[in-house]
Amino acid sequence: MNPVDMMNGDRFLKLKDVQAMLGVSRSTLWRWTAERGLKVVNVGAVTRIRESDLQDFLRRHETDSAAGAVENLENGA
């Protein structure tokens, strides 16, 4: 396990990976951080989204039909 994966057992996801997972643009991710509370971690010029923060964000904004999508993300699907 590399050092990035070791912090609290969380993985730190690249923005492009989150974009691909959710099928959204980079500007949508930034809007979610500014307006809807998606947390990001910035270290110098590197920006990542902690996997648990993404899961929490999705739970807060899910509807009944989206519940399966959050479960799939948690299970690595």
Distance CA 29, CA 18 (A): 8
User: Please, what are the domains in the chain?
Assistant: 3-67 (1.10.1660)
3 state SS of 14: strand
pLDDT tens digits for range 56-68: 999 998 876 555 5
61 CB-side CA count, 13 A: 11
Matching residue, tokens 């899961």: 55
Identify the DSSP state of 61.
Answer: T
Side-chain half-sphere of 77: how many Cα atoms within 13 Å?
Answer: 6
For 24-68, the pLDDT digits (tens) are 999 999 999 999 899 999 999 999 999 999 999 999 988 765 555
